[in-house]
Structure 1
Amino acid sequence: MWKRRRGVATFEWCAAGVPYVAALGVFTTPGGTGARGRLHAPGGGREYTAAGRGRIAAEGETRMMGHSHAVSGALVFAAAAPFLPPLLIGRPLQPGEVLVGALLSAGAALLPDLDHHDGTVANLFGPFTRLLCRTVARLSGGHRHATHSLVFVALAGAGTQLGVARWARGFTGGLTFALLLFAVHALRSHASGRCAHSRATTVGLAAIGTAAADTWLPGTGAWLPYAVVLGTLAHVLGDCLTRQGAPLLWPYGRRFEMVLIKRTGNRFETRFLVPVMTAGTLVLVWLATFAPTALTG
């Protein structure tokens, strides 16, 4: 699918069920599955093979950060699971709740980017989710403004708490489905196939997870606000590690940053940070499931 946005030609295709995007360049030869083409980016050209799983990273921002945010949300939830729930809800989480909670927190970690017209959530269902994100951006002042603040984190948690208290099971199920949808989409854990099939699989997996949580984890509503807060907080603090930072104290305009990721999707992020966070999440979830007292004594 060819797209032109702000004078920049992009081309999207699916390889093994994953949509890949090459941006900030012009294709002189269209490519499809099994075809070859050349991307002329500023400073030179690169060849790609659509049949492979390689990603073209042109000189500019890629879309890896949505995946990174999701993994960071899962990691923060898994790390806090042995300690915070007994203080906040009066009981420890069960192993299944830790696993589902990590996924829900991963989905919640994408909520601040509802203000990004071309982010992970915006590209979930094409023009429908892009319209949603453009609307949020207009209402919040643009990308990395109100939704990237501690005020938004607090409002997201309070709103979830209010929704659970007022609409109970219906609200819990709806939000669980939405967050699982975001998480599966961002973590790219859907099956191979064309883009439309991948979206269908993403929806199916989210529906199965929601039904399982509703059936076997009836206490999800008690800790769902906590998962939302941790996920959104992980995103906001993660953006403080990049250029532009985040306006933590919005509406006060100062941005807070400690730049460790100079360019979204660079090697430090994709080859070190994300693998380390993924391994840490898996270890912590395993400990919570099979050795719940290992961390708390």
Structure 2
Amino acid sequence: MSTASASYPIGTPGTPWGNAERAEWLSRQTRHRSYESDVLSVIERLRSRFDVQEYGRLEYGPGVYPLMAIRSRDWRADRPVVLITGGVHGYETSGVQGALQFVEQQALDYAGRVNLLVAPCVSPWAYERIHRWNANAIDPNRSFRDDGQAGESAALMQLVASIAEPILLHIDLHETTDTDETEFRPALAARDGKPFEPGEIPDGFYLVDDTESPQPEFQQALIEAVEKITHIAPADDNGEILGSPAAARGVIQYPLAQLGLCTSMTNARYRTTTEVYPDSDRVTPELCNAAQVAAVCAAIDYALSEHLTSPHGAVPRA
């Protein structure tokens, strides 16, 4: 759990960034890992069991990044769709690796019951640079709206819009890290010309539900599954997690559509954002990935059980 007070070395305090500041920020970004080795190679191995689709392509300078989705091979119109997204913030590693691990180890357990659509690394440029933003200093997870400026988000929205079948569930895999407080929130304040107000990183796993359409029983089913793997973030002395009132143990609520968050893309009945805490001395990368997989499995199990017992199995369309 981290708290920090930070200034940012780019720009003038109180003045939003212009082109010069964005260019300076971009010049400081360094490639630390390989999207091709870590993600594309894994997806290639999955082609023997799943359909693979390139749904977009990003070009940032000399870098070209194909955007890839994994789909059930036995896709049928009479089955609901489960949408799994990871790596919307590229630095949140278990979101990417957890999505891939689910496909490799668990996805075939759901064959014949749902249509799976998995976009495991929505922001590959940011994945390689272990960053929150894309190359234009834009947060893709504030850009899932018609006027959004992130190509990563627009491509994923187009993919989801092309799905004719009803979407039952969307689970978006994230992390909350200590660097949120030491790097990314200070950078955001500097970029927007606002003062940085230090906060506190929650110690443990939590979920983000939709303020406008909450599903408390669904969220708690995931919490109960994940706490077998890792610890759940407690509310602070103000009854809050990351500055938001705890709606239940390990759950907060955001207005998804208003903020342009990834889980606002559909009208799926069941939607959630996972938040793993990888900086705890009580976890390992393997445990973080396992927590993401446990959340995905619990989400699908709950959604299917409710879907099968609801009248006519009705599901809102995307």
Output the TM-score relative to the length of structure 2: 0.29
**Structure showing the higher helix proportion among its residues:** 1
Output the TM-score relative to the length of structure 1: 0.30
**Structure showing the higher strand proportion among its residues:** 2
